[in-house]
Structure formats: C-alpha cells, structure tokens
Amino acid sequence: MKKKVINIAVTGLNATDNPGPGIPVIRGLREAKDFDVRIIGFAYESMEPGIYMHDLVDKTYQIPFPSAGQESLLARLEYIQEIEKIDVLIPNFDAELFAFMKLEKKLLKMGIHTFLPTVDQFEDRQKINLMEFGKKYDIKVPYARTIFSLSEIFGLTADFTYPVVVKGKYYDAYIAYNPEQVQTYFNKISSKWGVPIIIQQFVYGSEYNVIALGDGKGNTIGAVPMRKQFITDKGKAWAGITIDEKNLLEMTDRIISGSKWRGGMELELMKTQNNEFYLLEINPRIPAWVYLAVGAGQNMPEALVKLALGEEVKPFETYDVGKLFIRYSYDMIIELEEFEKISTLGEL
C-alpha cells in the first residue's frame, strides 16, 4: 500500500564544521517507516550546503533572520505556505525557536504543525537559569554567574578558580585561563549574541550527551546517551558512541516527567573522575548527532512528526549499544546559476 506523503519544512541546513541538525534530521525523515516525505529546506544564507543536496532537500527557501522580527518571518511563511502546503515545521536552531513558539497558533491556522517546548520550558533551561534547574531536578550543575559588562570580569576571582568557561546565551563557549582571555571571549560572543554572558566553572572529565524526545505529557518517547569520541577545536562531537548508562536515562526521565517537556532536547554533561555527572547545558531541540539515534534504532525525527500531527506514539523501548558515528567532509560541485538563484530570488 502506498504511504502518505507529508510535506515537512526543516531549518538548520548549515552542514559545516559546526553543523546544524537539519541534514541529519532529514536523513531520519527519509528513512521513516510509516510515511514518505517531501522536504522543504529553510535557509538563512545562500552558502548553507544543505540547499544544494537535492537528493535530500526537494526545494529551499530563504527566510529572514530571527532579528528581523516575527512579522517579517510570518509574512515569508505565508508566501511559502501558499505554494508548498507544509504539514509540519521542524526548527533546529536555539536562536529561532522563540519566534516559532510565539507563532505556533498562527502557523497552525495556516495548516503548519509544530511540536516545540512551551515558552516556560524554554526559559527554565536557559543557561542563566541552569543552577536553579539543577536544584529543581536534583542534578549537579557547575557554579555559574551572568555578567553584563567588562568591568565585572576582574571580580570573578572571588567566586571562580581558572579555567572558566565563557558562554553566550544562545551559542559559543570558550575555555579561558585568565581574565584577559575572558575579556577577549566576552567581546567576541557579545558582538554576535549580545549580553548577558555566562561564566561557568570548568569541570574536568569526559564529555557525554543525551538526545531525548518528550511527548508534552511527562512521557519519554525516546532517549539515547552517547560518549564523545572525537571533539573538534570548536568543541563539537566529530565521533561518538552509544553507551549503556542508566544514570543518564534516569536523569532524562526525571527532567521530562517533571517538566512535561514537549519536543526534542539534548543534555550536555561532563563525567568526572569520581564518576559524577555534571549538567553543562540543555539544548531545547534535536541535536546535530541525531542520526546516531536513528542508526541505534530510535528514529526520533519520525516520532516527532507523528507527535506534531497529533498521532499516538509509543515510547522506544531499546536502542543499540556500541553504535558509532563518525563525521566526514565532502566536497559538492554545484552550478553557479544555482547559487545565483537562491541568492537573488530566495528560492531553489
């Protein structure tokens, strides 16, 4: 019997050395068992590699940056929806989520379904609120402070020992070994993402991550933990392996059941030499290594689409331990006319 075709819009097509989740999400959707897909890519810049991956993305539209405001985004989506009749939209960047969450009801009236965290859930796990979040769910979190100006940097020694981690409110994190380095990273991050800047105590150990999906009712639909095997100079996992770590699964269940988390999430953790896990941050969306979870038996992009459409989804019961992902670079050859088209018309 022929499977139904679902039109799905996906952001995060920047498959670079700091990859967005869009392409691995699409790969998972292409492998869905219960439906076929037509993929509409949403791009912010004309050099995002996913635009030109025609075996994965059927058509791409440029959309305005989040800084352009919700009305500009909504107007663009109304134009696209007239043409494409999108069923489900999956945003994949932290910085864009707030706008899409605010537009959720208007998008639904247009026929576009989403499955995103609530505004309260989004705010509770913000980096500036993470210490309170840890107390709420009995999870160890490194000590942190938010600063708003350069003048606060030299007073950090009263609360921290170096090194410290300097983080932006949305993206970017750098390890600083002295106040001068904190100042450099403060300027670098604040010029891109604004203030506040989060200063977090550095924790020595091995890096772990968990990808999870909550149904909005307190149930964990899926969860897969992995240990980073190779990390780039930007701190991104370039290789990782699924592990059997019940402590992380229990922690994830505790967060999802307590918060009634809705949608995808990623926990970033550090395991110390004393075998203690410290929660470094929570990303409120599917991470870029989601295809490892698909390969381990939990196709979370497929499950997320079903949840967005109001279908009942049974939780995944198992996943394969010892599955390894390794990223690689790949040179695509594209025609100049394609680049010109997306740059001038905003469509390809």
Q: How far apart are the first and last CA of the chain?
A: 32
Q: CATH number of the domain that 85 lies in? A: 3.40.50.20
List pLDDT tens digits, range 257-276. 999 999 999 999 999 999 99
The CA radius of gyration of the chain, in Å to the nearest whole number, is: 20
Could you tell me if residue 299 is inside a domain? no
Residue 193 confidence (pLDDT):
85
How many domains does the chain fold into? 2
Residue 33 confidence (pLDDT):
95
Same domain? 76 vs 161: no
- Gap between the Cα atoms of 176 and 166, Å rounded: 7
Could you tell me if residue 243 is inside a domain? no
Instruction: Residue 73: name the closest of 83, 84, 61, 85 by CA.
Output: 61
Mark residue 134 as left, alpha or beta (left: phi above 0; alpha: psi -120 to 50; beta: remaining): alpha
Residue 235 confidence (pLDDT):
77
Same domain? 43 vs 105: yes
Instruction: Inform me whether the pLDDT recorded for 313 exceeds 80.
Output: yes
- Gap between the Cα atoms of 307 and 319, Å rounded: 20
Could you tell me if residue 311 is inside a domain? no
Among 201, 217, 246, give the residue marking a domain's end.
201
Same domain? 94 vs 147: no
pLDDT, averaged across the chain? 95
Could you tell me if residue 186 is inside a domain? yes
Q: List C-alpha distances in Å: 312 to 101, 220, 255.
A: 22, 13, 21
Could you tell me if residue 46 is inside a domain? yes
List pLDDT tens digits, range 68-109. 999 999 999 999 999 999 999 999 999 899 999 999 999 999
The region of weakest confidence among 87-91, 173-177, 287-291 is: 173-177
Centre a 10 Å sphere on the Cβ of residue 229 and count the other Cβ atoms it contains: 14
Same domain? 83 vs 157: no
List pLDDT tens digits, range 196-243. 999 999 999 999 999 999 999 999 999 999 999 998 887 788 999 999
Q: Which residue has the tokens 């106040």?
A: 179
* DSSP letter assigned to residue 138: T
pTM to 2 decimal places = 0.94
Same domain? 108 vs 148: no
Among 201, 222, 241, give the residue marking a domain's end.
201
Residue 15 confidence (pLDDT):
85
Residues with Cβ within 8 Å of residue 71, at least 6 apart in sequence? none
Residue 27 confidence (pLDDT):
98
Instruction: Inform me whether the pLDDT recorded for 1 exceeds 80.
Output: no
Same domain? 53 vs 102: yes
Same domain? 22 vs 104: yes
Among 163, 182, 201, give the residue marking a domain's end.
201
> Exposed, middle or buried by CB within 10 Å (0-12, 13-18, 19+), for 31?
middle
Strands (DSSP E) contained in the chain are 5-10, 36-43, 59-62, 88-90, 144-147, 164-167, 173-176, 197-201, 206-215, 220-231, 237-242, 262-271, 277-283, 324-326
Centre a 10 Å sphere on the Cβ of residue 301 and count the other Cβ atoms it contains: 28
Residue 264 confidence (pLDDT):
98
Q: CATH number of the domain that 150 lies in? A: 3.30.1490.20
Could you tell me if residue 154 is inside a domain? yes
Same domain? 110 vs 10: yes
Could you tell me if residue 164 is inside a domain? yes
- Gap between the Cα atoms of 294 and 279, Å rounded: 24
Same domain? 84 vs 171: no
Same domain? 80 vs 165: no
Per-residue pLDDT band for 44 (boundaries 50, 70, 90) equals very high
Could you tell me if residue 10 is inside a domain? yes
- How distant is the alpha carbon of residue 64 from its chain centre? 19
Expressed as residue numbers, the domain containing 181 is 143-201
- DSSP string over 241-279: EE---HHHHHHHHHHHHHHT-EEEEEEEEEE-TTS-EEE
